[in-house]
Amino acid sequence: MSLATYAHPAAFNWSTPRVEPGTIRDARAWARRELTGKGVPGRAVDDAVLMVSELLTNVLRQAPGAAELTLLVEHNLLTVTCADSDRTPARSESPDPISERGRDLLTAEALAYACFIRPRAGGGKRVIALIEMADR
């Protein structure tokens, strides 16, 4: 089943049949390479790479299975989308202050200009985060 989010010709897509710690590392490297190659400013690249890590960690912990990332650069806006096939709604909760876990979506929300969680047609969900970029 394809989790494809964008058919936009400028979108970069990455997918995995199962999110594991090694695939999160690979996704971070992919995002950095694609965004740097597209000329995205360093701060936005760093924010997007951290966001990719947090969103995929959320999939690993709450919705194990396939995931797809989409990066779309348009004008001064970078859209990072993470789609999964799990029907359980994504949760953004206040974590235990001494816990090392539970900040995945909170971190994404803090980095983003705006962050949305939307159901996908056919099941699953998409977390869509927008990062404003300085003039390029």
What digits encode the pLDDT tens for the residues 11-70? 999 999 999 999 999 999 999 999 999 999 999 999 999 999 989 988 888 888 999 999
**Would residue 74 count as lying in a domain?**
yes
Strand partners, 71: 12, 80
Complete DSSP assignment for 116-133: EEEEPTTS-EEEEEEEE-
**Would residue 4 count as lying in a domain?**
no
**Would residue 111 count as lying in a domain?**
yes
* Residue 18 near residue 82 (C-beta atoms within 8 A): no
* Residue 81 near residue 127 (C-beta atoms within 8 A): yes
Q: What is the pLDDT of residues 79-108, one digit of tens each?
A: 999 999 888 766 555 555 444 444 456 777
Q: Helix, strand, or coil here: 113?
A: coil
**Would residue 59 count as lying in a domain?**
yes
**Would residue 97 count as lying in a domain?**
no
Q: Residue 109's domain spans which residues?
A: 14-92+102-132
Question: Into how many domains does the chain fold?
Answer: 1
* Residue 108 near residue 54 (C-beta atoms within 8 A): yes
Q: Residue 20 sits in a domain of what CATH number?
A: 3.30.565.10
Prediction pTM value: 0.83
